[in-house]
Each structure stands twice: as C-alpha cells, then as structure tokens.
C-alpha cells in the first residue's frame, strides 16, 4: 500500500470520486429525456410514451441511489482526510456545498420520489412537473458542486484573514459567475448529456438486435440522437472556452495535457503521440496539427504557448486576468514570494500576541502583496509543481477521440436506417462513454496537481494528520464497498434491461 500519507489520502479521495462519477453523469441527461417522453404522454395521452418513460425512470432510479450513497461519503472525506483544506477555505468552499445539500439535493430527492412512485397516485400534470423538477434538481446539484470545484481551480471572490488564517468570502457573485465556474458547469453537464444519449442508444440498440420492443427502441434512439447532437455541439463550445481558460489561468495543466515541455510561437497540437514520464521530462514523438495548439489556446495561430520548462524558468510575457501584460515569474521567484507570505503570517501572529498594532499592519501588508503565491512556500522543488504528464496527455486524447466517435454515432442514428452494426457500435460506446467522462475528470483534477487550491494550497499541506495505516485500511474497505455497490447496480440494471419495458402496443 501507500508509504506516504498525502498519496494515500489523494488516492482514497480519487477512488471515491471516480466511483461516484460512474453514477452521476447518467442522471444529468436521462432525467431530461424522461421528462420529454412523459411530456409526449401528457400531450398525446398515448400509453406508449408513459411506459417508455417508466422504463427509463427505472434506469435513472438505480443510478440516482448509488450516486447519492457515494456522494455523501465524498463530502465527509473533506473532514476526515483534508481537514487543513477545510480549515483554510471552509468559509468559501462550504457555501456552495451547503446550498447543494439544502436546495438542490432535497429538491431532486423529494420530487424523485413522486416521479418514481407516483404513477397513478398523483395527477398527470403534477407527476410531469415532478419529473421536470427532478431533472432540474440533478442539474442544480451539479451546478453547486462544480462551482465549489471551479473555485479550487481559480480562487476568486475572497480575501485571506491573517487573524484566523482562513480565506473568507467577500463576493459570492464572483464565486458563482467566475468564467472558470460557468465553463466547468457547462462542459461537465453537457458531457453528462452526451453520456446519457449514448447509454439510451446503446440499450435501445440491444433491443433491436434481439428484435424486441422495436417501436420503443426506435423512438428512444431518435430522442437520444437529437439530444446527443445538441449536447455535443454545446460540449464542443464549452470545451473550446475551457481550453482558453486553462491557457490563461492554469498554463501548467495545459502543458501537461499536451506533453509540451518546451513551448513556442505557433505551437502544433499533437493528434497522436508518446510521452515519457515526468522524470525523463521529454516528449518523444507524434503527429502534430500545425499551429492548432496556439489556435485552441489563444485563438491566434501565432500565439506563444509556454511549455513545462518555460513555466518553471519564467521570463516569458503573458496577459493576466485583468488584461495587463506581465512577465511570468520563475518557480524560484514564486517560491520566494510564498516563503515571504508564510513568514509574514507567522510574524503577524507574533505581533498579535504582543499587541503590536504597527507590526501587525506591516506584516499583513507584506502578506497581502505576496499571498498570490502562498502555496509555493510549501514546495521543495520545481518538479513538485508539474502534474503527471502521461496521465493527462493520454486522458485528454481518449476523451477527445471518444467524443468524436459519439458524435458520429448520433449523426448515424439520425441518417441511416438502423442496422446491426449500429447496434454493436452503440453497445460498445456505452463503456467508452464512462471511460470518457472519467478521463475528463482526470484531466480536470490531476491536471491541477499539486494544487488543491491553485497556487495557494498544495495537497501535502491540505491533508489531515491522520494515521497512514488507517487511511490505507480505509482505501481497502472503500474499494470493496464501492465495487459491491457497482456490481449490485449493474446486476439490477441488467436485470431491468433484460425484463424490458412494460408491454407497449
């Protein structure tokens, strides 16, 4: 098992998040497709659409239950494994999570009960409203959780209070409406929509292969294909903006995604390539698309894109969040500023204990000037600031290429008369869709390492001082529990699919 507490805690949290994200994306899109199907039933009074909606509601319910179970554990781990993080940013990070629990989750779970159990027990219009509100609740849950996560990637709307050594919120609107937050929400949610469309098409394709429930499968495929095409276009747009934001706010993440060690002007994007490990620090070979990385990153074919070595050395020019041109600091310069900020914080508390107001004001001013690089004071070497390059490089390409495959699947489902080969492709795409969303999560979260909060708090300073043996034991227990939950979900889901929808005439 792990010999380092930080690595063990990171792995435990990653394990929980990866399992949790196996259940959540399907509920984001499937809820809306169910609502569309039920709307057709209420408008037409055709029992076909009622039975169709009820079948997909069963699939939704299985994922909803498993997602709720793993999500609760995930939130508790902020306290059990990351108590220093919780102290450092709890005033900010806790706000969107509290809103998610009080507003979004209760909205979703309350009306989900009506949606799933309320058939023939409540009025049609009330049931339909409950279905739409359940779908909306799933989105709102994602919105607030992703808002909190986006703040970790791009911390805004806060000030550091040296008296409490905590970050405190000063602008809730900046937190919610930050450009990173909006694009992260859009890209993650539309990614869930794409996955949901793939799952509906794949399951429906299986029925067509078995020559069962032909009308149900055909009409479900058509709804999913249209939903998937629209979602794919939205995901493409938000993905483009996310790349621009990564170049602007997290250049090291972008460099890791591209395996780019030495940057330049008019940088190509590697369509296919091989990268060595971080220790070797060298890109090997590949097939590049000329100037494409500069275009995607800055919408300028001649733009300068810094590589990993450039970011460590500093000295290149860049445009900051306010639109001003600045010279990038080197890792060593950032580390010095981080050390100055940390020393100033310690001196502030010494001055506070002695009641020296002048010294408190002076050290607080020094801290504020250097606080942007506070976290670098915890890092020992430039290599610590570099995320896992191969993992990010390959995860990003798997995500992009699978996304292209899904889009072709949606187009094919609309254009061609359904054939066996389309059913096979649709079924194969189901596990690929889950791999794709997990790869997206890896790029987002592993790409910003070592930072838990970008530039302010690295993982090794955020971890709880827990027993390494206890964390390793928890990893084993959680792996067994989550695998059991996943196996149970798949068993119930396969049984439900095999049973099929109620007889539809």
What mean pLDDT comes out for the span 343-366?
95
pLDDT tens-digit profile of 397-424? Answer: 999 999 999 999 999 999 988 888 999 9
| Residue 140 Rama label (left phi>0; alpha psi -120 to 50; beta) | alpha
| Residue 290 Rama label (left phi>0; alpha psi -120 to 50; beta) | beta
**What is the predicted pLDDT for the residue at 104?**
81
Average pLDDT, rounded, for the chain: 92
* Contacts within 8 Å (CB) and 24+ apart, 159-163: 160/367, 160/368, 160/371, 160/374, 162/344, 162/345, 162/348, 162/349, 162/363, 162/364, 162/367, 163/348, 163/352
pLDDT tens-digit profile of 278-316? Answer: 654 555 567 889 999 999 999 999 999 999 999 999 999
pLDDT tens-digit profile of 79-124? Answer: 899 999 999 998 898 899 889 888 887 888 889 999 999 998 999 9
Give CA–CA dist 136/232, Å, rounded: 19
pLDDT tens-digit profile of 186-212? Answer: 999 999 999 999 999 999 999 999 999
270 — pLDDT class (breaks 50, 70, 90): confident
Bigger pLDDT: 486 or 324?
486
**What is the predicted pLDDT for the residue at 502?**
76
Tokens matching residue 459: 């993982």
277 — pLDDT class (breaks 50, 70, 90): low
Give CA–CA dist 181/58, Å, rounded: 32
**What is the predicted pLDDT for the residue at 71?**
87
**What is the predicted pLDDT for the residue at 504?**
56
**What is the predicted pLDDT for the residue at 285?**
63
What mean pLDDT comes out for the span 377-404?
95
Q: Quick one: what percent of the chain has pLDDT higher than 90? A: 84
Domain boundaries, the chain: 255-322, 331-378
């Amino acid at each position: 098992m792990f010999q380092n507490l930080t690595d063990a805690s990171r792995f435990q949290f990653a394990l929980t998040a990866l399992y949790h994200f196996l259940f959540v994306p399907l509920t984001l899109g499937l809820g809306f497709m169910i609502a569309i199907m039920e709307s057709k039933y209420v408008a037409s009074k055709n029992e076909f659409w009622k039975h169709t909606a009820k079948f997909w509601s069963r699939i939704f319910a299985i994922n909803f239950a498993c997602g709720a179970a793993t999500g609760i554990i995930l939130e508790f781990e902020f306290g059990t494994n990351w108590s220093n993080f919780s102290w450092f940013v709890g005033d900010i990070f806790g706000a969107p999570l509290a809103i998610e629990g009080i507003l979004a989750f209760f909205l979703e779970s309350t009306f989900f009960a009506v949606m799933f159990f309320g058939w023939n027990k409540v009025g049609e219009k009330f049931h339909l409203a409950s279905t739409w509100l359940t779908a909306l609740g799933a989105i709102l849950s994602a919105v607030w959780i992703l808002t909190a996560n986006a703040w970790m990637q791009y911390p805004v709307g806060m000030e550091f209070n040296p008296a409490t050594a905590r970050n405190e919120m000063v602008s809730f609107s900046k937190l919610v409406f930050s450009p990173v937050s909006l694009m992260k929400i859009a890209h993650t949610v539309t990614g869930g929509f794409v996955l949901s469309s793939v799952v509906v098409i794949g399951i429906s394709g299986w029925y067509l292969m078995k020559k069962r429930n032909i009308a149900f499968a055909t009409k479900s495929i058509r709804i999913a294909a249209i939903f998937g095409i629209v979602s794919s276009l939205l995901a493409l747009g938000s993905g483009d903006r996310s790349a621009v934001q990564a170049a602007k706010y997290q250049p090291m993440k972008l460099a890791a995604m591209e395996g780019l060690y030495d940057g330049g002007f008019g940088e190509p994007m590697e369509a296919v390539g091989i990268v060595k490990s971080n220790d070797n620090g060298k890109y090997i070979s590949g097939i590049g698309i000329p100037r494409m990385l500069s275009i995607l990153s800055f919408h300028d074919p001649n733009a300068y894109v810094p590589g990993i070595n450039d970011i460590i050395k500093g000295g290149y020019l860049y445009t900051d969040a306010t639109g001003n041109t600045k010279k990038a600091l080197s890792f060593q310069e950032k580390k010095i500023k981080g050390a100055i900020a940390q020393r100033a914080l310690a001196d502030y508390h010494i001055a506070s204990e002695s009641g020296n107001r002048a010294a408190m004001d002076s050290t607080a001013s020094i801290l504020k000037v250097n606080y942007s690089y506070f976290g670098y004071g915890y890092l020992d070497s430039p290599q610590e600031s570099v995320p896992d390059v191969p993992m990010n490089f390959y995860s990003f390409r798997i995500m992009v290429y699978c996304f292209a495959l899904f889009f072709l699947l949606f187009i094919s489902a609309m254009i061609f008369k359904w054939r066996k080969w389309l059913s096979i492709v649709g079924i194969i795409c189901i596990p690929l869709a889950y791999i794709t969303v997990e790869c997206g999560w890896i790029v987002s979260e592993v790409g910003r390492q070592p930072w838990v909060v970008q530039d302010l708090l690295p993982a090794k300073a955020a971890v709880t001082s827990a027993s390494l043996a206890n964390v390793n034991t928890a990893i084993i227990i959680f792996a067994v529990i989550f695998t059991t939950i996943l196996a149970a979900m798949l068993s119930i889901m396969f049984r439900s699919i095999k049973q099929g929808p109620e007889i539809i005439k």
